[in-house]
Amino acid sequence: MLSLSAMPRTLDPELRRALAARIRYYNEMGIYDFYRRPQSDRVGEIAATTVVDETEIAVSTSHPESEEEISSRKATAVAMPVAIQSDENIFDLIALKPEQSVSDPVKALKIIREDLGDCTRCVLHKQGRKQIVFGVGNPTAELMFVGEGPGADEDAQGEPFVGRAGQLLNNMIKAMGITREQVYIANIVKCRPPGNRTPEREECATCSPFLMRQIAVIKPKVIVALGAVAAKTLLAMSASMAQLRGRFYDFRPASVRSNDPNWDGCKLAVTYHPAFLLRDPRQKGEAWKDLQMVMKELGMKAPKSNS
Ligand code: SF4
């Protein structure tokens, strides 16, 4: 990751003002994440003038073509917080999201939902969605489940995991000795892909920054990624479920910081999507092993009937 301290501080004042105005303009459009595209002959070199050149800025709405590029983008993302108070510290301000000045997580999530608006950022908005499915649950949950995207039932009710797969997820949560209301549940994409197809990588990349912001507000101790799409998007890596399961990953939401200096990310575990478990119930035992690993991490004890 590029070091902010490496940023030159001798930017021409006029150029700096122009940059501030441009970033403010992007913020007003709901774009907060900026990435500097590395150039093959000068990766690692920071030239401030490149930031003001639109052709050199890849914002969060542009997407890589491969998993490798996702990793590369993540590694070179410049976290530049932007609530521009002074042109002098512009590079220290560029990624500040509007909810970060709010301490109440309910209000912070509301701000993110309002920022999402009647979203048309990816093609899923025009492919038959009835409504945006934002996420549901405890805004201070220690445990968060992240799935792939809404299905027909979720699209109809506006809540994630309410169909058959949702019932199974509820049972999995209950087996852990907790309730659905105690956790937070969301998806990588917030609109139903037509015919329940797998969301495209570009759709995941466009929608997931809002999920990252939700995670930074909720500050869970553990996230369980349900299925390969959720795991690959959150971890920005490509691997099989067999390779992804059975261990914890250190996770920090990409390009967003929590307003709590004591929260520096969380653990992430991967398990099967409940819809897959409905198709192949033989894997339920494996999923239970994943959840037991999570319970141990959180110091939870299963109810007697499961032990
Ligand atoms: S899936 Fe996400 S990014 Fe795409 S239109 Fe829906 S809310 Fe917007």
Q: Is the CB of 121 under 6 A from ligand 1?
A: yes
Mean pLDDT score across all residues of the chain: 79
Q: Is the CB of 48 under 6 A from ligand 1?
A: no
Ligand 1 mutation target, pool 31, 61, 112, 121, most atoms within 8 A of CB: 121
> How far, in Å, CA of 174 to CA of 170, rounded?
6
What is residue 30's predicted lDDT score, i.e. its pLDDT? 56
Ligand 1 mutation target, pool 122, 134, 196, most atoms within 8 A of CB: 122
Instruction: Tell me how far CA of residue 135 lies from CA of 21, 170, 176, 181, in angstroms.
Output: 33, 15, 21, 12
Q: Is the pLDDT of residue 248 over 70?
A: yes
Atom of ligand 1 nearest to the CA of 119: 8
Ligand 1 mutation target, pool 155, 200, 206, most atoms within 8 A of CB: 206
Atom of ligand 1 nearest to the CA of 116: 7
Atom of ligand 1 nearest to the CA of 206: 3
Q: Is the CB of 37 under 6 A from ligand 1?
A: no
- The pLDDT-based confidence of 191 (bands split at 50, 70, 90) is very high
Place of tokens 């398990």: 271
How far, in Å, from the CA of 244 to the mean position of ligand 1?
26
How far, in Å, from the CA of 55 to the mean position of ligand 1?
25
Q: Is the pLDDT of residue 70 over 80?
A: no
What is residue 307's predicted lDDT score, i.e. its pLDDT? 45
Q: Is the pLDDT of residue 40 over 90?
A: no
Place of tokens 């037509």: 194
**SS3 state at 289:** helix
| Rounded-to-10 torsion of CA 174, 175, 178, 183 | -70
What is residue 175's predicted lDDT score, i.e. its pLDDT? 97
Q: Is the pLDDT of residue 38 over 80?
A: no
Q: Is the CB of 192 under 6 A from ligand 1?
A: no
What is residue 302's predicted lDDT score, i.e. its pLDDT? 75
Residue with the nearest Cα to atom 3 of ligand 1?
207
Share of the chain above pLDDT 70, in %: 69
64 or 232: whose pLDDT is higher? 232
The average pLDDT across 199-222 equals 97
Q: Is the CB of 191 under 6 A from ligand 1?
A: yes
Q: Is the pLDDT of residue 295 over 50?
A: yes
Q: How far apart, in Å, do the first and last CA atoms of the chain sit?
A: 44
> Each residue of 138-185: pLDDT tens digit?
999 999 999 999 999 999 999 999 999 999 999 999 999 999 999 999
What is residue 11's predicted lDDT score, i.e. its pLDDT? 62
The structure tokens listed for 161 are 């995991």
pTM for the whole thing?
0.73
How far, in Å, from the CA of 187 to the mean position of ligand 1?
11
